[in-house]
Amino acid sequence: MKFQKLSQKNAQYIAHRWKYKDPIAARYTLAKDPIAQQEFISQKLRKKNYYEVIDADRLFGYLQVEDKDDGLWITLGMRPEFIGQGKGQTFLDAILEFIREQYGIDKPLMLAVGLFNERAIHLFRKNKFYDIQTRKFNFDDGQHDYVVLRRDW
């Protein structure tokens, strides 16, 4: 898998065309969060820390990395047609290698996953992430509980 800066073309494609049929993944559709969608598609608002992930010459997913005081916070998304096909481990392995090479291992990795997404939580826990806390996040359709996970290198 190849990581490169998220192009405007692919940002638009992800924000407007990625529709998840899986009921769990559907909660992550950018259209459900207009503020996140606007940041994602606006070159002015989108920071340099957004990457597109290319596999076999196709857009496979995206990654955002934010360097904060308590760690490197990551947000990731996989192309809808790959959800539920057992590709999560390969995607996560590629992400971990990319972060190790580009950002180093001085800070822990952090991310928040919806408690409704048991498959993703299982994958992260299997890969040395552990629970820190549970938080509520507000969305257009109400509040949802998320678990904050951390991975020390």
Report field, pTM of the whole predicted structure over 0.85: yes
User: Mean pLDDT throughout 60-66?
Assistant: 96
| Confidence at 30, pLDDT banded by 50, 70, 90 | low
Which domains, ranges and CATH numbers included, belong to the chain?
Answer: 2-151 (3.40.630.30)
> CB–CB of 78/60 below 8 Å?
yes
Average model confidence (pLDDT) for the chain? Answer: 89
Half-sphere exposure of 27 (CA within 13 A, CB side): 16
Which of helix, strand or coil describes residue 151?
strand
Using a 10 angstrom Cβ sphere, with 0-12 exposed, 13-18 middle and 19 or more buried, the burial of residue 88 is buried
DSSP β-bridge partners for residue 78: 61
Per residue in 113-129, pLDDT (tens digit) is: 989 889 999 999 999 99
